Structure 1
Amino acid sequence: MSFWQKITHKQDPKVYADKDKKLVPSLTTIDLLALGIGMVVGTGIFTLPGIVAANHAGPAVTIAFILGAIGAGMAALAYVETSSVLPFAGSAFSWISVLFGEFLGWICGWALLAEYFVSVAFVASGWSAYMQGFLKQFDIVLPNFLAQGLDFKGHGGVDILTIFITMLTGFLLSRGLKKVSRVENSLVILKIIVIVLFIAVGLTAIHPNNYVPFIPPHKAGTNFGGWQGILAGTSQLFLVYVGFDAIAANTAEAKNPQKTMPRGIVGTLVIGTALFVAVSLVLVGMFNYKIYAGNAEPAAFALRKAGHLLTANLLSVVAIFGMLTGMIGMQMASSRLIYAFGRDGFLPKSLGHLDKNKTPQKALWIVTVTAAIVGGVLPFTFLSNLVSAGTLIAFIMVSIGIYRLRKREGIDLPNPTFKMPLYPILPALSAIVSGIIFWQLSIDAKLLMLVWLILGSIVYFIYGCRHAHSEIPDEISENIQDEI
């Protein structure tokens, strides 16, 4: 096989089906909704509305959430169709490998890996902020060198609580998926109840003048105010919508994925968007948006400042436990992606092995330790700027992949139970919108993603290109070689 044939070789879906059959399909629609909603209304709902309002959009943060939902919604429709046709672990990595070939599949998966690593670190960092805010109510204050990561000005040190929660979540996941799903479902229900309580209590403290002007004027040379600020806010908060991507990463472990995946993905997006819009409206209505600058726990802060100490502490407690749902979802998804890399030989094959609980333990602990280091050292706001880049790259590629998918449905691939509407217009529009939002990311995020992709290309050409497909069963490998 020539070098060009190698990097453009499209993976046979039967290979993934054969390898993933060792994974136990135990996730129901309720489990998938809990995973997705746990991600979407995880750290983001307790932190990002205040940050985006203060740094970019003002009260128009609600418009930024709606635009993000529209952009993510179009990509979600592409995910629904693709996941029902190609129900494999690794989500976009596996799909793009089947539709476009080995190298583009690797690049997409590598971009997703950055998103997952940073997302886990970001959620853990948010958890740490809420825990510290809660502990301060009892006059327990960590020394600065253990309370936050470095801020690039020589301040801070290591966020010890971020490292603790990341390692704890890794331990929980190592005990098996079914046990974790029960915990996840319970925590998501509890978290939604407290979010509704925050909205109800916050409505009593709203001051209408805080909504004026709803769209602050644009400040020249910055990403604050006007539609520039709204779009910049949309790009930063896009990370809240990665929940359905995390669902897709667990497709191989879903019962009847042709039905459960569409319900889980669409349901996650609808419920999550409604909650985000409501929370952000209440938050910027309680106090002027400027007060939330640099605050990683704006919801609890607003309640305390408004005199609702009991509700604020209740929210903090639930946030402390509820953010575990986001941690569980992202660490689970990222470990399945690392598993898929090992499964296909792009990384050492030992990462694709499962233990007696049908859990990819080595992949899980690679993710856990790496995310603990990243989250423990890098500051919260820096992480929030980086996390969306990998997601948007995956959204673009999966949306474009619909054109390849349609040509093969009913021929060598199954017919989906759901098809992305308004074909062929909507897939292109989805890719364009995600591209526009990507362009609005900070220069740091774009440069770091470029460096990450260059590093991924080096890993591929030095290791992955030489070892990929080394674990294909003999009979399937022979079929692939015959086709080539």
Structure 2
Amino acid sequence: MVMKSFFKRMLLKEDPNVYQDKDSHLSQVLTVKDFLALGVGTIVSTSIFTLPGVVAASHAGPAVALSFLVAAIVAGLVAFAYAEMSSAMPFAGSAYSWINVIFGEFFGWIAGWALLAEYFIAVAFVASGLSANFRGLIEPLGLVLPKQLSSAYGTSGGVIDLVAVIVVILVGLLLARGVSGAARVENILVVLKVLAILLFVFVGLTAIHASNYSPFIPKYHPNADGSAFGGWQGIYAGVSSIFLSYIGFDSIAANSAEAKDPKKTMPRGILGSLVLAVILFVSVSLVMVGMFKYSSYANNAEPVGWALRESGHPIIAIVVQTVAVVGMFTALIGMMMAGSRLLYSFGRDGMLPKWLGSLNKDNLPNRALVVLSIVGVILGAVFPFAFLAQLISAGTLIAFMFVSLGIYALRPREGKDLPEPSFKMPLYPVMPALAFLAAFAVFWGLDMGAKLYALYWFIFGLVIYFGYGMRHSFLSKRSQAKENEEKNK
């Protein structure tokens, strides 16, 4: 009897009207344009300036464009599910809130906890990447930071990455003033970043040598570390390596409670940003491997700038890299917006301390933002986080699998206790299964270390859920109160 009650509590489903009421206090100011900028700014971030060259050299050769394309197809399948979910349930917290409503509290917590890893680490990842690129720009001018202030603790003699700290604080202060102001900054920076990418593509087209594309899919052989290079195996390895490039569309869904007319805004923002991102990723990949032999990009941390300089365009290299550094702010804005809304959702539901779910006088979840900023500073500025990088993909893919399967539980409730969404995932019931299988295939392709880190994070999440969340959950308390009322009748 006790076990039955225990599992019943774990599988309690949240009433969507509760989320609708609680999130109604958030300011609904974001438009399709804002979400497109948010999505493109988050997706097309640090990775577009680094990963095409790295993955080409280590896994796919010139076929790196196919790796990006396959990863985009996987992301696209899941994006259809996200578009329907966010249209039917425009709640803060995205996958966490959705799964809470359709599968129950425990599964919602697992999905949300997986996403939280993404946001924590992504904030640190982007901040540190921005720091490295910024230092690379100012060092030729004779402005060199001391080693102790240039790298994370224990890395190259570093103690703290000062630039990463400053960047996270600046973005936190910007977001604390409100999402509409942050959205305006985001829109401007995204335009600049896209222009810089297009500048690289158009200039790079003049330096392409067709011989660099041959063979387009190199012959397969294992790398020294056991990973695959060449053949379809190399393309698959490339997909798993670059999938983190496409995870940004979740940041759109996390802010759906602040959207104007979310039924239309959310699908357009999610799918539109993904389409734009795919075009940019594939274009940069094809141009980059056409300019120089793919092997030239091995261990190159800034392949875009290097390719431009080596092809005789040093001034354009400086322009593109400068805009790239500024543009990385857009990814940080997107991740910190989404992460703070997820933390707010946990506090809103009592899964974490309820003060995280409080709003200030301007209806902003700034307490959650402060916590996210502090964690981002610690991870990005103090601890070496390279070993955690793939956890971004691992955690996100777990959430993607939940959301894909969630469509099967969502459809029967649409038009009943949930509104009829303006967008529905096509080819139902086949496409949700394809989205799940595709996400699982990418997850399976991650290295064993990433899967282990995901397991450790999962265990940590279980400890918090059973040790705190389950006992303090507002959903559980309401259910218990209702049961007591019925007993006393």
Q: TM-score, normalised by structure 1?
A: 0.94
Matched with 2:337 is 332
8 Å CA contact 1:396–1:431 kept in 2: the answer is yes
How far, CA to CA, are the matches of 1:58 and 1:150 in structure 2? 34
Matched, 1:57 2:60: yes
Counterpart of 2:361 in 1: which secondary structure?
coil
Q: 1:418 and 1:481, CA in 2 relative to 1: closer, same or farther beyond 3 A? A: farther
Matched with 1:178 is 180
8 Å CA contact 1:124–1:327 kept in 2: the answer is yes
8 Å CA contact 1:343–1:471 kept in 2: the answer is no
Counterpart of 2:123 in 1: which secondary structure?
helix
TM superposition shift of 1:213? 2.3
Matched with 1:411 is 416
8 Å CA contact 2:49–2:303 kept in 1: the answer is yes
Matched, 1:89 2:110: no
TM superposition shift of 1:380? 6.8
Matched with 2:104 is 101
Q: TM-score, normalised by structure 2?
A: 0.94
Counterpart of 1:255 in 2: which secondary structure?
coil
TM superposition shift of 1:347? 0.2
Q: 1:145 and 1:287, CA in 2 relative to 1: closer, same or farther beyond 3 A? A: farther
8 Å CA contact 1:344–1:470 kept in 2: the answer is yes
Amino acid at match of 1:358: N
Q: Deviations over 1:149-187 (max 9, x none)?
A: 3678x7654332222211211111111111111111111
Matched with 1:22 is 25
TM superposition shift of 1:4? 1.2
Matched with 2:379 is 374
- Which runs of structure 2 are paired with 1:86-165 in the superposition (5 Å)? 86-149=89-152, 156-165=158-167
Amino acid at match of 1:20: D
8 Å CA contact 2:14–2:104 kept in 1: the answer is yes
How far, CA to CA, are the matches of 1:409 and 1:222 in structure 2? 44
8 Å CA contact 1:130–1:296 kept in 2: the answer is no
Matched, 1:401 2:403: no
8 Å CA contact 1:87–1:257 kept in 2: the answer is yes
Q: 1:259 and 1:275, CA in 2 relative to 1: closer, same or farther beyond 3 A? A: same
8 Å CA contact 2:9–2:476 kept in 1: the answer is no
How far, CA to CA, are the matches of 1:25 and 1:155 in structure 2? 46
- Which runs of structure 2 are paired with 1:64-79 in the superposition (5 Å)? 64-79=67-82
8 Å CA contact 1:12–1:480 kept in 2: the answer is no
Amino acid at match of 1:166: V
Q: Deviations over 1:444-483 (max 9, x none)?
A: 11100100000000000000000011698x899759987x
Larger deviation, residues 287-296 vs 82-91: 287-296
Q: Identity across aligned pairs (percent)?
A: 55
Counterpart of 2:50 in 1: which secondary structure?
helix
Matched with 1:199 is 201
TM superposition shift of 1:216? 2.4
How far, CA to CA, are the matches of 2:87 and 2:341 in structure 1? 18
Matched with 2:83 is 80
Counterpart of 1:137 in 2: which secondary structure?
helix
Matched with 1:40 is 43
Q: 1:295 and 1:242, CA in 2 relative to 1: closer, same or farther beyond 3 A? A: same
Matched with 1:166 is 168
Larger deviation, residues 197-206 vs 324-333: 197-206
Q: Deviations over 1:383-430 (max 9, x none)?
A: 543321111111110000000001111221111111111111110011
Aligned counterpart for 2:304 among listed residues 299, 304, 318: 299
Aligned counterpart for 2:16 among listed residues 13, 16, 33: 13
Q: 1:76 and 1:102, CA in 2 relative to 1: closer, same or farther beyond 3 A? A: same
Q: 1:210 and 1:129, CA in 2 relative to 1: closer, same or farther beyond 3 A? A: farther
8 Å CA contact 2:470–2:476 kept in 1: the answer is no
How far, CA to CA, are the matches of 2:457 and 2:240 in structure 1? 19
How far, CA to CA, are the matches of 1:205 and 1:239 in structure 2? 29
8 Å CA contact 1:126–1:296 kept in 2: the answer is no
Q: Deviations over 1:338-367 (max 9, x none)?
A: 000000000000000111222111111111
How far, CA to CA, are the matches of 2:388 and 2:134 in structure 1? 18
Amino acid at match of 2:63: A
Counterpart of 1:387 in 2: which secondary structure?
helix
Counterpart of 1:206 in 2: which secondary structure?
coil
How far, CA to CA, are the matches of 1:331 and 1:477 in structure 2? 36
Amino acid at match of 2:10: I
Q: Deviations over 1:267-306 (max 9, x none)?
A: 0010000010001111111122223233332211221222
How far, CA to CA, are the matches of 1:214 and 1:380 in structure 2? 34
How far, CA to CA, are the matches of 1:450 and 1:476 in structure 2? 31
Unaligned regions of 5+ residues in structure 1, if any?
none
Matched, 1:386 2:391: yes
